[in-house]
Protein backbone atom coordinates (compact mmCIF):
# COMPACT_ATOMS: atom_id res chain seq x y z
CA UNK A 1 0.00 0.00 0.00
CA UNK A 2 1.23 3.52 -0.84
CA UNK A 3 0.34 6.70 1.06
CA UNK A 4 1.56 10.26 1.36
CA UNK A 5 2.72 11.95 4.54
CA UNK A 6 3.80 15.55 4.40
CA UNK A 7 4.94 15.28 0.81
CA UNK A 8 6.81 11.99 1.40
CA UNK A 9 5.67 8.66 0.04
CA UNK A 10 5.50 5.87 2.60
CA UNK A 11 5.72 2.25 1.53
CA UNK A 12 3.97 -0.56 3.39
CA UNK A 13 3.42 -4.26 2.81
CA UNK A 14 5.58 -6.67 0.74
CA UNK A 15 7.56 -3.89 -0.98
CA UNK A 16 8.68 -2.55 2.37
CA UNK A 17 9.72 -6.01 3.54
CA UNK A 18 11.80 -6.63 0.43
CA UNK A 19 13.48 -3.25 0.71
CA UNK A 20 14.25 -3.84 4.39
CA UNK A 21 15.69 -7.25 3.60
CA UNK A 22 18.00 -5.82 0.96
CA UNK A 23 19.16 -3.13 3.36
CA UNK A 24 19.93 -5.68 6.09
CA UNK A 25 21.80 -7.86 3.60
CA UNK A 26 23.89 -4.91 2.41
CA UNK A 27 24.91 -4.18 6.00
CA UNK A 28 25.64 -7.82 6.94
CA UNK A 29 29.19 -8.88 7.86
CA UNK A 30 31.35 -10.44 5.20
CA UNK A 31 30.81 -14.03 6.39
CA UNK A 32 27.11 -13.59 5.64
CA UNK A 33 28.07 -13.53 1.94
CA UNK A 34 27.70 -17.30 2.14
CA UNK A 35 23.98 -16.71 1.71
CA UNK A 36 24.67 -15.53 -1.81
CA UNK A 37 26.43 -18.73 -2.85
CA UNK A 38 25.09 -21.55 -0.75
CA UNK A 39 22.05 -22.75 1.12
CA UNK A 40 21.84 -24.92 4.22
CA UNK A 41 20.00 -28.05 3.10
CA UNK A 42 20.19 -30.07 6.30
CA UNK A 43 21.65 -30.37 9.80
CA UNK A 44 23.46 -33.40 11.21
CA UNK A 45 24.20 -33.44 14.94
CA UNK A 46 23.53 -29.72 14.96
CA UNK A 47 26.03 -28.99 12.18
CA UNK A 48 24.85 -27.55 8.87
CA UNK A 49 25.20 -29.16 5.47
CA UNK A 50 25.90 -26.47 2.89
CA UNK A 51 24.76 -26.87 -0.70
CA UNK A 52 26.76 -25.26 -3.49
CA UNK A 53 24.56 -26.16 -6.43
CA UNK A 54 24.45 -29.95 -6.22
CA UNK A 55 27.65 -30.20 -4.18
CA UNK A 56 27.01 -30.84 -0.47
CA UNK A 57 29.62 -29.94 2.15
CA UNK A 58 29.38 -30.94 5.81
CA UNK A 59 30.46 -28.12 8.12
CA UNK A 60 32.81 -30.36 10.12
CA UNK A 61 34.93 -33.42 9.39
CA UNK A 62 32.90 -36.66 9.51
CA UNK A 63 33.35 -39.59 11.90
CA UNK A 64 34.86 -42.29 9.73
CA UNK A 65 35.36 -44.67 12.71
CA UNK A 66 33.42 -43.23 15.69
CA UNK A 67 34.67 -45.79 18.22
CA UNK A 68 38.33 -45.69 17.25
CA UNK A 69 40.71 -44.28 19.88
CA UNK A 70 43.20 -41.77 18.59
CA UNK A 71 45.46 -42.19 21.62
CA UNK A 72 45.52 -44.85 24.33
CA UNK A 73 44.37 -43.54 27.70
CA UNK A 74 43.15 -40.25 26.25
CA UNK A 75 39.42 -39.83 26.87
CA UNK A 76 39.21 -36.23 25.71
CA UNK A 77 36.77 -35.48 22.92
CA UNK A 78 38.36 -35.16 19.52
CA UNK A 79 38.42 -31.65 18.11
CA UNK A 80 36.96 -31.78 14.67
CA UNK A 81 38.33 -30.04 11.61
CA UNK A 82 36.05 -27.20 10.60
CA UNK A 83 36.78 -26.13 7.03
CA UNK A 84 37.01 -22.41 6.45
CA UNK A 85 34.97 -20.62 3.87
CA UNK A 86 36.89 -19.70 0.76
CA UNK A 87 36.94 -16.00 1.62
CA UNK A 88 38.47 -16.79 5.01
CA UNK A 89 41.56 -18.41 3.47
CA UNK A 90 44.40 -15.97 2.80
CA UNK A 91 46.91 -18.53 1.54
CA UNK A 92 46.70 -22.22 0.76
CA UNK A 93 49.18 -24.84 -0.45
CA UNK A 94 46.46 -27.30 -1.42
CA UNK A 95 45.00 -27.14 -4.90
CA UNK A 96 44.40 -28.92 -8.16
CA UNK A 97 45.34 -28.32 -11.75
CA UNK A 98 42.91 -26.23 -13.83
CA UNK A 99 42.18 -29.30 -15.98
CA UNK A 100 40.56 -30.97 -12.98
CA UNK A 101 38.25 -28.20 -11.86
CA UNK A 102 34.68 -27.46 -12.91
CA UNK A 103 34.41 -25.41 -16.05
CA UNK A 104 31.88 -23.89 -18.38
CA UNK A 105 31.62 -24.24 -22.15
CA UNK A 106 33.45 -20.93 -22.50
CA UNK A 107 36.74 -22.42 -21.31
CA UNK A 108 36.28 -26.14 -21.83
CA UNK A 109 38.96 -26.51 -24.50
CA UNK A 110 38.18 -29.62 -26.53
CA UNK A 111 40.10 -29.56 -29.84
CA UNK A 112 39.26 -33.13 -30.95
CA UNK A 113 35.45 -33.12 -31.21
CA UNK A 114 33.68 -35.10 -33.92
CA UNK A 115 32.17 -32.03 -35.57
CA UNK A 116 35.60 -31.24 -37.01
CA UNK A 117 35.14 -34.15 -39.42
CA UNK A 118 32.38 -32.31 -41.28
CA UNK A 119 33.38 -28.65 -40.89
CA UNK A 120 35.42 -28.49 -44.12
CA UNK A 121 38.62 -27.47 -42.31
CA UNK A 122 41.60 -29.80 -42.73
CA UNK A 123 43.49 -28.09 -39.91
CA UNK A 124 41.12 -29.36 -37.22
CA UNK A 125 40.61 -33.00 -36.40
CA UNK A 126 38.85 -35.66 -34.35
CA UNK A 127 40.31 -38.43 -32.22
CA UNK A 128 38.53 -41.37 -30.66
CA UNK A 129 39.12 -42.25 -27.02
CA UNK A 130 42.54 -43.82 -26.51
CA UNK A 131 42.65 -47.56 -25.72
CA UNK A 132 45.31 -49.79 -24.17
CA UNK A 133 45.08 -52.31 -27.00
CA UNK A 134 44.63 -51.79 -30.76
CA UNK A 135 41.55 -54.03 -30.94
CA UNK A 136 39.90 -53.31 -27.59
CA UNK A 137 36.88 -51.73 -29.29
CA UNK A 138 35.99 -50.41 -32.72
CA UNK A 139 36.10 -46.69 -33.41
CA UNK A 140 33.46 -45.49 -35.81
CA UNK A 141 31.91 -42.45 -37.46
CA UNK A 142 28.35 -42.30 -38.75
CA UNK A 143 27.30 -39.54 -41.13
CA UNK A 144 23.62 -38.81 -41.79
CA UNK A 145 22.82 -36.93 -44.98
CA UNK A 146 19.78 -34.64 -45.01
CA UNK A 147 18.22 -36.70 -47.82
CA UNK A 148 19.04 -39.80 -49.85
CA UNK A 149 21.72 -39.31 -52.49
CA UNK A 150 23.78 -41.48 -54.81
CA UNK A 151 27.36 -41.72 -53.61
CA UNK A 152 30.41 -43.54 -54.93
CA UNK A 153 33.37 -42.45 -52.81
CA UNK A 154 34.40 -41.74 -49.23
CA UNK A 155 37.53 -39.72 -48.58
CA UNK A 156 39.49 -39.96 -45.32
CA UNK A 157 41.55 -36.80 -44.91
CA UNK A 158 44.62 -36.63 -42.73
CA UNK A 159 45.79 -33.47 -40.96
CA UNK A 160 48.47 -31.76 -43.13
CA UNK A 161 50.89 -31.34 -40.23
CA UNK A 162 49.55 -33.62 -37.53
CA UNK A 163 49.24 -32.66 -33.88
CA UNK A 164 51.40 -33.86 -31.04
CA UNK A 165 54.34 -36.07 -31.85
CA UNK A 166 55.18 -39.41 -33.42
CA UNK A 167 57.69 -41.78 -31.86
CA UNK A 168 59.46 -44.25 -34.19
CA UNK A 169 60.57 -46.28 -31.17
CA UNK A 170 57.02 -47.15 -30.17
CA UNK A 171 55.45 -46.78 -33.63
CA UNK A 172 53.11 -44.02 -32.46
CA UNK A 173 51.75 -41.55 -35.01
CA UNK A 174 50.55 -37.96 -34.79
CA UNK A 175 47.02 -36.93 -33.88
CA UNK A 176 45.02 -36.35 -37.07
CA UNK A 177 47.14 -38.87 -38.98
CA UNK A 178 46.05 -42.09 -37.29
CA UNK A 179 44.27 -44.40 -39.74
CA UNK A 180 42.85 -47.80 -38.75
CA UNK A 181 44.48 -50.89 -40.20
CA UNK A 182 41.09 -52.56 -40.61
CA UNK A 183 38.41 -50.49 -42.28
CA UNK A 184 34.81 -51.12 -43.24
CA UNK A 185 32.28 -48.76 -44.83
CA UNK A 186 28.56 -49.47 -44.69
CA UNK A 187 25.66 -47.54 -46.17
CA UNK A 188 21.94 -47.45 -45.45
CA UNK A 189 18.81 -45.83 -46.78
CA UNK A 190 16.78 -46.14 -43.56
CA UNK A 191 19.36 -46.40 -40.71
CA UNK A 192 18.14 -49.96 -40.18
CA UNK A 193 19.28 -52.12 -43.07
CA UNK A 194 22.98 -51.80 -43.89
CA UNK A 195 25.17 -53.03 -46.71
CA UNK A 196 28.96 -53.17 -46.75
CA UNK A 197 30.34 -51.30 -49.75
CA UNK A 198 34.02 -51.47 -48.77
CA UNK A 199 36.14 -53.65 -46.50
CA UNK A 200 39.89 -53.92 -46.11
CA UNK A 201 41.63 -55.87 -43.36
CA UNK A 202 45.03 -54.44 -44.29
CA UNK A 203 44.19 -50.82 -44.93
CA UNK A 204 47.10 -48.42 -45.33
CA UNK A 205 46.61 -44.73 -46.04
CA UNK A 206 48.46 -43.60 -49.14
CA UNK A 207 48.69 -40.04 -47.81
CA UNK A 208 48.51 -39.49 -44.05
CA UNK A 209 48.80 -35.72 -44.64
CA UNK A 210 45.92 -35.39 -47.07
CA UNK A 211 43.11 -37.07 -49.00
CA UNK A 212 42.70 -40.84 -49.27
CA UNK A 213 39.94 -41.66 -51.74
CA UNK A 214 38.04 -44.93 -51.27
CA UNK A 215 35.80 -45.68 -54.27
CA UNK A 216 33.06 -48.29 -54.62
CA UNK A 217 30.10 -49.01 -56.85
CA UNK A 218 27.64 -46.09 -56.59
CA UNK A 219 24.77 -46.66 -54.19
CA UNK A 220 21.78 -44.68 -52.96
CA UNK A 221 22.40 -43.81 -49.32
CA UNK A 222 21.29 -41.54 -46.54
CA UNK A 223 23.59 -42.91 -43.82
CA UNK A 224 27.28 -43.76 -44.08
CA UNK A 225 28.96 -45.77 -41.33
CA UNK A 226 32.77 -45.87 -41.25
CA UNK A 227 34.16 -48.47 -38.85
CA UNK A 228 37.83 -48.75 -37.93
CA UNK A 229 39.64 -51.39 -35.88
CA UNK A 230 43.22 -52.49 -35.21
CA UNK A 231 44.00 -48.90 -34.28
CA UNK A 232 47.54 -47.49 -34.22
CA UNK A 233 49.22 -45.97 -31.20
CA UNK A 234 48.46 -42.25 -31.36
CA UNK A 235 50.65 -39.61 -29.66
CA UNK A 236 50.39 -40.48 -25.95
CA UNK A 237 46.62 -41.16 -26.11
CA UNK A 238 46.83 -44.91 -26.61
CA UNK A 239 45.37 -46.65 -29.66
CA UNK A 240 43.02 -44.30 -31.49
CA UNK A 241 41.36 -43.42 -34.81
CA UNK A 242 42.15 -39.80 -35.59
CA UNK A 243 41.77 -37.88 -38.86
CA UNK A 244 40.96 -34.34 -39.93
CA UNK A 245 38.01 -34.67 -42.28
CA UNK A 246 35.62 -37.10 -43.95
CA UNK A 247 34.24 -36.41 -47.40
CA UNK A 248 31.33 -38.25 -49.00
CA UNK A 249 31.26 -37.63 -52.75
CA UNK A 250 28.02 -37.71 -54.69
CA UNK A 251 27.67 -38.37 -58.43
CA UNK A 252 28.97 -34.93 -59.51
CA UNK A 253 31.97 -35.22 -57.19
CA UNK A 254 30.74 -32.72 -54.59
CA UNK A 255 31.30 -33.37 -50.91
CA UNK A 256 27.91 -33.74 -49.21
CA UNK A 257 29.29 -34.65 -45.76
CA UNK A 258 29.36 -31.06 -44.57
CA UNK A 259 27.54 -29.46 -41.68
CA UNK A 260 26.92 -26.50 -43.96
CA UNK A 261 25.00 -28.83 -46.32
CA UNK A 262 22.83 -30.29 -43.59
CA UNK A 263 24.85 -33.39 -42.73
CA UNK A 264 24.80 -34.76 -39.20
CA UNK A 265 27.38 -36.87 -37.40
CA UNK A 266 27.86 -39.31 -34.55
CA UNK A 267 31.14 -40.78 -33.32
CA UNK A 268 31.85 -43.80 -31.16
CA UNK A 269 33.88 -41.75 -28.67
CA UNK A 270 35.98 -38.62 -28.33
CA UNK A 271 39.35 -38.10 -26.71
CA UNK A 272 38.79 -35.38 -24.12
CA UNK A 273 42.10 -35.50 -22.30
CA UNK A 274 41.71 -38.45 -19.91
CA UNK A 275 38.03 -37.67 -19.43
CA UNK A 276 38.60 -34.03 -18.55
CA UNK A 277 35.54 -32.54 -20.20
CA UNK A 278 33.09 -30.32 -18.37
CA UNK A 279 30.42 -33.02 -18.08
CA UNK A 280 32.78 -35.49 -16.41
CA UNK A 281 34.08 -32.80 -14.09
CA UNK A 282 30.57 -31.80 -13.06
CA UNK A 283 30.02 -35.41 -12.00
CA UNK A 284 33.37 -35.84 -10.22
CA UNK A 285 33.74 -32.47 -8.51
CA UNK A 286 31.14 -33.04 -5.76
CA UNK A 287 33.01 -36.19 -4.68
CA UNK A 288 36.36 -34.38 -4.70
CA UNK A 289 34.91 -31.45 -2.78
CA UNK A 290 33.41 -33.66 -0.08
CA UNK A 291 36.70 -35.43 0.53
CA UNK A 292 38.69 -32.22 0.68
CA UNK A 293 36.15 -30.51 2.91
CA UNK A 294 36.29 -33.52 5.23
CA UNK A 295 39.98 -33.02 5.80
CA UNK A 296 40.92 -36.04 3.70
CA UNK A 297 43.10 -34.24 1.19
Residue 16 has pLDDT above 50, yes or no: no
Q: What is the CATH number of the domain that holds 120?
A: 2.60.120.260
* Structural domain contains residue 173: yes
CB 212 within 8 A of CB 125: no
Residue 254 Rama label (left phi>0; alpha psi -120 to 50; beta): beta
pLDDT at 85: 74
How far is 35 from 265, CA to CA, in rounded Å? 44
How far is 294 from 289, CA to CA, in rounded Å? 8
User: Is there a single domain that holds both residue 134 and residue 165?
Assistant: yes
* Structural domain contains residue 17: yes
Q: How confident is the model at residue 96 (pLDDT cuts 50, 70, 90)?
A: low
Q: What's the pLDDT tens digit per position in 252-289? A: 999 999 999 999 999 999 998 866 788 877 777 766 55
Predicted TM-score (pTM) of this structure: 0.67
Residue 174 has pLDDT above 50, yes or no: yes
pLDDT at 288: 59
| SS3 call for 32 | helix
User: Is there a single domain that holds both residue 294 and residue 219?
Assistant: no
User: Is there a single domain that holds both residue 280 and residue 222?
Assistant: no
| Rounded (to 5) percent helix, strand, coil in the chain | 20, 35, 45
* Structural domain contains residue 72: no
User: Is there a single domain that holds both residue 31 and residue 42?
Assistant: no
- Name the average pLDDT for the chain: 82
* Structural domain contains residue 24: yes
**DSSP strands (E only) in the chain:** 2-5, 8-11, 39-44, 47-52, 55-58, 126-127, 139-157, 182-188, 194-200, 211-229, 233-234, 238-239, 242-243, 245-250, 264-267
Structural domain span for residue 60: 38-64+77-108+275-297
What φ, ψ does residue 182 adopt, rounded to 5°?
Answer: -120, 130
Q: What's the pLDDT tens digit per position in 132-158? A: 999 999 999 999 999 999 999 999 999
C-beta neighbour count of 275 within 10 angstroms: 13
User: Is there a single domain that holds both residue 153 and residue 294?
Assistant: no
User: Is there a single domain that holds both residue 44 and residue 187?
Assistant: no
User: Is there a single domain that holds both residue 149 and residue 194?
Assistant: yes
User: Is there a single domain that holds both residue 198 and residue 140?
Assistant: yes
- The count of domains in the chain is 3
pLDDT at 295: 44
User: Is there a single domain that holds both residue 138 and residue 251?
Assistant: yes
User: Is there a single domain that holds both residue 228 and residue 128?
Assistant: yes
User: Is there a single domain that holds both residue 160 and residue 222?
Assistant: yes
Amino acid sequence: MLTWNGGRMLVFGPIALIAAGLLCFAQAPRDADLLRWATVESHINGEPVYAFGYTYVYAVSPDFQPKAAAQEGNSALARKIRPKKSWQIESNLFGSTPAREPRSAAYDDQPLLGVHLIDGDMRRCWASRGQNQPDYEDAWVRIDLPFEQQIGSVVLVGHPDGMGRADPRTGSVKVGQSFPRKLEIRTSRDAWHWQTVYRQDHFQASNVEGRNVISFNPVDAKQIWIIGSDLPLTHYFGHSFSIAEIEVLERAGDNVALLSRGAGLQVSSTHTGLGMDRYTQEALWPRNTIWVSSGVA
